[in-house]
Structure 1
Amino acid sequence: MVQAWYMGDLSADDDQRLPHKTEPFEELSLDQLKERTGCLYWKIEDEDVENSPLVEKIRQERGYNYKDVITVSPDKLENYETKIKSFFEEHLHSDEEIRLILEGSGYFDVRDTDDRWVRVLVERGDLLVLPAGSYHRFTCCSKNYIKACRLFCGEPVWKPYPRGEESDKMTARAEYLKQMTAAA
């Protein structure tokens, strides 16, 4: 099932690829993850994760009609160090970010309703949906390898908007905050 927890403090010198759990450890259940961040999560148990009937059902129900596969590792992603640093900069998107993990592992960090970081470990078979307008970031774990299927509604939107005054005023951010307030 989902593995999510509140992150401890992370300094500029700390390795972002480590778990960074709080002391004492503050784990979140699936319900708490959804309630505090708006994230959706499914565990895909089928042997063929990418072509699972459950994934197909979710794609149809949520309108995900485009997909591609990305491998994030030093030998598969050009300019790996630069890219992994850019993935770890806090940002939001105007559309949902949907990832189905095919191999490897990594961490999605998502801001909760109190602006605290929640770290979500994603591994093979995890399908995670980050809501449009939610501040988040991504990093590989210490193995430096993850292969993920990226799903989209329509044409893919890749543009990240760094956290700041401009992104705080975006429609996607306002809608996300409204949705999270209504759910509370």
Structure 2
Amino acid sequence: MTRKFLTVIGVASLSSFALAAQASAQTQGSFGSTSTGDLTVSASVPAKVRISGLEDVTFTDVDPASDASSNQNICIYSNTASGGYEIKATGDGAANAFTLANGALTPVAYTVAFDDSPGQSTGSPLTTNVALTGQNSTASNQNCTGGETASLIIGVASSELQKMQAGLAYSGTLTLVVAPE
């Protein structure tokens, strides 16, 4: 009885080994002077994005009777099949507002707009911490060797410029977060 039991365990172990070996390759080679086997190699990557080409914006000696605006071409790359992404912006003012400040002086608001094509002077207005979805990039690589793919438009209304004290610099930080779609 012990002998049969040991034989059964031996066969079960041997067949488990054979199944494990088969699971690691698509076609197993045969025993001989040479042996050939085939296996499948596969790879995948997660969805990724990159934003680049951003430049600081400086409004110097602007006429407070007129709105000030600065638009720049930037690059956004997405490796999704459609090139899809969303963009979210936050400022460093209270509740992440888009504001420019100078110490204890009253901050002034600025606006942020975005378009997923370069060379635009207007775009979809961004609201702080709210994603603008459904954007698409035409970039073929993360370095945007084919050129910029989007427009970022920053503006300060004349009503806000008129609140500023002459000769003082006001500043703020705009943070842009891009995520794949």
Whose helix proportion is higher, 1 or 2?
Answer: 1
TM-score, structure 2 length as denominator?
A: 0.26
Q: Which has the larger radius of gyration?
A: 2
